[in-house]
């Protein structure tokens, strides 16, 4: 499976490209999109974003089709997570009322679908959650809109919904399968909750709302999450997390940052740690559900990195600046 990934040499090649269009040409020449684009389309940001989305959707569906029932169910829930990015985008537009940005802002997930686009334009929340594939979220989202909750609240409850489903799907019949997937999903949930707790300090989110937003599954955070929630500052909250398996990433961030700095470098460090765990899955028992799941995670990080490189080249950022935001390049 790893042989199908772009690899470090591929990263280096793209980083040396002079423009975003050259990057897309390189990907096309190497068959990254399996012949689904033409050179003219590569200049259109919406088109190349769609190509990445299509690639990920096709990959997860193929792996699910080839997997045993337990693993297939887990991968189907992972596919739902990618699809619900469209719900986040739709709600973002509704909340900020940026109807003019509809065409350019909605470039991920399935919001290019006419039904989703229509739901956003008419501000039909019930229709939006139905078409996005999460009708169970309608009541909670509708109530939050009435209460004028901030945008991060909506994004968090969507993540909570789908990550809870993914976690439930890790309860597999085979013990080896169960352990292999719970470690990877558990780490993803921990990272999501850790970042949410820390960001809540800057967003002014109440402890009550925060408890409602957190994914109700703790893999390796334990009681430190409660300690961090009650901390009086971002730095003190982060110091609480140095007692966990994420200490290396958190301490690295603490060593170079101060109160009020962007939390994005911490996000990148934690994703790199998760990516390292996913790569480790390929050195263990080869016939378990953790392997296709790890591959999906890694491909998602790869696609995220390629988007970052292309966007950085489009915006004229130097190579060193782009590399700061990459996940897999530093761990391959």
pLDDT band at 242 (very low <50, low <70, confident <90, very high): very high
Count of C-beta atoms within a 10 Å radius of residue 29: 9
CA distance 272 to 222: 21
Question: Which residues, other chains included, contact 264 with Cβ-Cβ below 8 Å and sequence gap of 6+?
Answer: 325
How do residues 8-59 score in pLDDT, each as one tens digit? 899 999 999 999 989 988 998 888 887 555 554 545 666 777 788 888 988 9
How do residues 67-126 score in pLDDT, each as one tens digit? 999 999 999 999 999 889 889 988 988 887 644 444 444 434 445 567 877 888 888 999
pTM of this structure? 0.91
CA distance 83 to 80: 5
CB 197 within 8 A of CB 237: yes
CB 144 within 8 A of CB 153: yes
CB 270 within 8 A of CB 245: no
Question: Which residues, other chains included, contact 56 with Cβ-Cβ below 8 Å and sequence gap of 6+?
Answer: 82, 299, 300, 303
**pLDDT at site 104:** 42
How do residues 260-318 score in pLDDT, each as one tens digit? 899 999 999 999 999 999 999 999 888 899 999 999 999 999 999 999 999 999 999 99
How do residues 180-193 score in pLDDT, each as one tens digit? 999 999 999 999 99
Structure tokens at 37: 């684009």
CA distance 18 to 151: 36
**pLDDT at site 98:** 46
């Amino acid at each position: 499976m790893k042989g199908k990934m772009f690899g470090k040499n591929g990263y280096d090649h793209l980083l040396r490209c002079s423009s975003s269009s050259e990057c897309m040409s390189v990907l096309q020449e190497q068959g990254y999109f399996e012949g689904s684009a033409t050179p003219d389309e590569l200049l259109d940001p919406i088109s190349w974003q769609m190509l990445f989305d299509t690639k990920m959707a096709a990959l997860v569906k193929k792996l699910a089709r080839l997997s045993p029932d337990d693993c297939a169910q887990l991968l189907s829930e992972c596919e739902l997570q990618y699809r619900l990015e469209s719900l986040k985008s739709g709600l973002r537009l509704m909340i900020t009322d940026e109807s003019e940005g509809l065409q350019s802002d909605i470039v991920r997930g399935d919001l290019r679908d006419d039904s989703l686009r229509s739901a956003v334009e008419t501000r039909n929340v019930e229709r939006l959650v139905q078409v996005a594939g999460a009708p169970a979220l309608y009541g909670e989202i509708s109530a939050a809109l009435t209460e004028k909750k901030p945008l991060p609240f909506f994004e968090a409850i969507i993540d909570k919904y789908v990550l809870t489903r993914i976690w439930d799907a890790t309860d597999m019949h085979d013990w080896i399968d169960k352990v292999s997937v719970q470690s990877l999903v558990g780490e993803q949930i921990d990272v999501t909750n850790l970042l949410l707790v820390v960001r809540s300090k800057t967003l002014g989110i109440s402890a009550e709302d925060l408890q409602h937003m957190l994914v109700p599954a703790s893999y390796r955070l334990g009681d430190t999450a409660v300690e961090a929630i009650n901390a009086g500052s971002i730095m003190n909250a982060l110091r609480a997390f140095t007692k966990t398996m994420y200490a290396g990433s958190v301490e690295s961030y603490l060593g170079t940052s101060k109160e009020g700095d962007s939390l994005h470098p911490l996000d990148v460090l934690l994703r790199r740690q998760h990516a390292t765990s996913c790569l480790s899955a390929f050195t263990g028992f080869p016939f378990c559900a953790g392997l296709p799941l790890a591959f999906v995670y890694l491909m998602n990080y790869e696609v995220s990195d390629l988007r970052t490189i292309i966007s950085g080249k489009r915006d004229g950022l130097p190579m060193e600046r782009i590399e700061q935001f990459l996940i897999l390049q530093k761990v391959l």
